[in-house]
Structure 1
């Protein structure tokens, strides 16, 4: 029974407050009810009124009606505190699974000041002290994530209890835009990519079998599979085979280089490898089933690769399906399992 009531209530709210990145709070979508303190206050007023009637005491009447007028005035002020306020989703952030993703909002007050606001999503809340009339304030609301993919809070609640805390007025914003959550980086095992790169494959350019590599001292950020371990055992010198120095060919990060591994774990491995390559400033390409990102370097390339890993195999969230911590991965059997460099993403 409770499930049916909640379902009907949610459908009514969804019709009343459709999804939008801009929400203007009006009489149509504002709600107001007494708080626990307000309920106790009202009961005391009722007791005082009954007492005044019983004893025909003018002073009790005066205090009762005075406090009743204060309650009515507080109700109007609490409602007016949110009326005319406009919430805009400025930016849906990005981050790694398990972290809090920032949603940047802008609250613009109408003809009246907005005081003592609270914005919340799930169990996370942010307080805003004062939004002057006709001005705006930027707010960063952290939303917890657990899975890679798209993250869109079903509802962002805005509430006020100003001035006396006897009543609370609230509404919701139901954003359309979704944040992108990258796979959680997990240290990857040493593997070789089989993606073709010119006349050679990445697996054929092993440190022990290529005489055209340039040797240089090991630097922080170099991958362990590029270290000449036999030379290190013989001489104690940590040197690295620099394949890029000979041909300038980058190293591919290949989804298919981890056979027998769960798809989500592969994406976490690739996320870690992308971070490692970006720290060393090396050029690299990313090979995913159905999508290939050509070799490049720099922060923009790193972000592009992380986004590709985040949304691979994912669909944007739908109104009928709301996940509290982001979309979960799924495999589309119609997608190809292999891709070659140069294919269109």
Structure 2
């Protein structure tokens, strides 16, 4: 029964506060209730009133009604503190799975100061934010991420308990724009790309089990694990071990190179390789089923590759229902794109 009531409440709130990257808070979407301290304070006022009636004491009456007036004024001030506040999501951040993803919001209070405003999402709270009247304040809220994909918070809580903490006024922002969560980088085993000179081959070629190797000079794009560091320390000559039968281009990071490996592991391996090539400022391309990113270098290229890995096999969240962080929509479509991978989120 409790679950059914909670579901109905959430449905009612979602209808009253639809998804939008901008929200102006007013009578229609602000909720207010006494806090625990407010309930205790109200109980004490009731006891004082009963005592005053019992003893017919004018001073007790005076103090009771004076404190009651303070409570009523505090209720109106708490509601007014949030009323008229405009909150806009201006940038949804990016990061790796397990990190806190920054969401940048802009708050504007055109008529009066908004004091002691708090923002919260899941267990992360941003406390005591002040927005002067007629000015704007940029607020950075970090949202926890669980796995790769689109990060669309169900609700961002906006609340205030100013001035005395006797009442709590709150509402929500339900953003449309999603953050991007990259796969968690995992050290990749040695594997040869199936791409040669920009063209895909029919199957991958692994270096495991090959006993014959050639030595060649280091070229841009080669993996650092394959450098003969002992020889480099002795002679200062940087050379690479080239295993016999290895046909893949060193400029390509290839999804099909890790045949028989779980999809999420493949994406983690590729994310690690992307970061490694980026640190070395190497030129590289990314080959995914249904998408090929041509070799390039630089921060923009790295970001593009990481984003492609983050959203691989996923559909972007749409209005019509909140999605858990990184949830797969269209399981069959994701499996079709990730042929050769056996795992799911």
Aligned counterparts of 1:141 and 1:199: Cα–Cα separation in 2: 43
State the match for 2:238 in structure 1.
Answer: 239
Aligned counterparts of 2:183 and 2:127: Cα–Cα separation in 1: 30
| Residues 260-279 of structure 1 aligned to structure 2 (within 5 Å) | 260-279=260-279
Alpha-carbon shift at residue 127 of structure 1 (Å): 1.6
Aligned counterparts of 2:312 and 2:105: Cα–Cα separation in 1: 27
Aligned counterparts of 2:149 and 2:199: Cα–Cα separation in 1: 36
Q: Give the SS at the match of 1:193.
A: coil
| Residues 1-345 of structure 1 aligned to structure 2 (within 5 Å) | 1-197=1-197, 213-215=216-218, 223-224=223-224, 226-228=226-228, 232=231, 239-241=238-240, 251-319=251-319, 321-328=321-328, 330=331, 332=333, 333-335=335-337, 337=339
> What RMSD over aligned residues (CA atoms) do the two structures have, in Å?
3.0
Alpha-carbon shift at residue 103 of structure 1 (Å): 0.4
TM, length-normalised to structure 2: 0.86
8 Å contact from structure 1 (residues 20, 176) kept in 2: yes
Aligned counterparts of 2:29 and 2:111: Cα–Cα separation in 1: 18
Instruction: Map Cα deviations across residues 229-249 of structure 1 (whole Å, 9 max, x no partner).
Output: 8x949x776632499xxxxx7
Alpha-carbon shift at residue 271 of structure 1 (Å): 0.1
Q: Give the SS at the match of 1:313.
A: coil
8 Å contact from structure 1 (residues 284, 295) kept in 2: yes
8 Å contact from structure 1 (residues 183, 267) kept in 2: yes
Aligned counterparts of 1:199 and 1:108: Cα–Cα separation in 2: 53
8 Å contact from structure 2 (residues 115, 128) kept in 1: yes
Alpha-carbon shift at residue 325 of structure 1 (Å): 3.2
Aligned counterparts of 1:268 and 1:258: Cα–Cα separation in 2: 11
8 Å contact from structure 2 (residues 217, 238) kept in 1: no
8 Å contact from structure 2 (residues 159, 171) kept in 1: yes
TM, length-normalised to structure 1: 0.86
Count of aligned residue pairs for this structure pair:
327
Alpha-carbon shift at residue 225 of structure 1 (Å): 5.1
State the match for 2:245 in structure 1.
Answer: none
Alpha-carbon shift at residue 320 of structure 1 (Å): 5.1
Alpha-carbon shift at residue 331 of structure 1 (Å): 5.2
Aligned counterparts of 2:199 and 2:43: Cα–Cα separation in 1: 85
Alpha-carbon shift at residue 210 of structure 1 (Å): 6.6
Q: How has the CA–CA distance of structure 1 residues 200 and 242 changed in structure 2, closer, same or farther, with 3 Å as cutoff?
A: farther
Aligned counterparts of 1:239 and 1:138: Cα–Cα separation in 2: 49
Aligned counterparts of 2:274 and 2:62: Cα–Cα separation in 1: 73
8 Å contact from structure 2 (residues 176, 319) kept in 1: no
Alpha-carbon shift at residue 251 of structure 1 (Å): 1.2
Aligned counterparts of 1:65 and 1:200: Cα–Cα separation in 2: 82
Q: How has the CA–CA distance of structure 1 residues 87 and 34 changed in structure 2, closer, same or farther, with 3 Å as cutoff?
A: same
Aligned counterparts of 2:312 and 2:113: Cα–Cα separation in 1: 45
Structure 2 unaligned blocks of 5 or more: 243-248, 341-345
Q: How has the CA–CA distance of structure 1 residues 277 and 148 changed in structure 2, closer, same or farther, with 3 Å as cutoff?
A: same
Alpha-carbon shift at residue 336 of structure 1 (Å): 7.6
8 Å contact from structure 2 (residues 156, 172) kept in 1: yes
Aligned counterparts of 1:66 and 1:269: Cα–Cα separation in 2: 68
Instruction: Map Cα deviations across residues 111-139 of structure 1 (whole Å, 9 max, x no partner).
Output: 01100010000110002432111111100
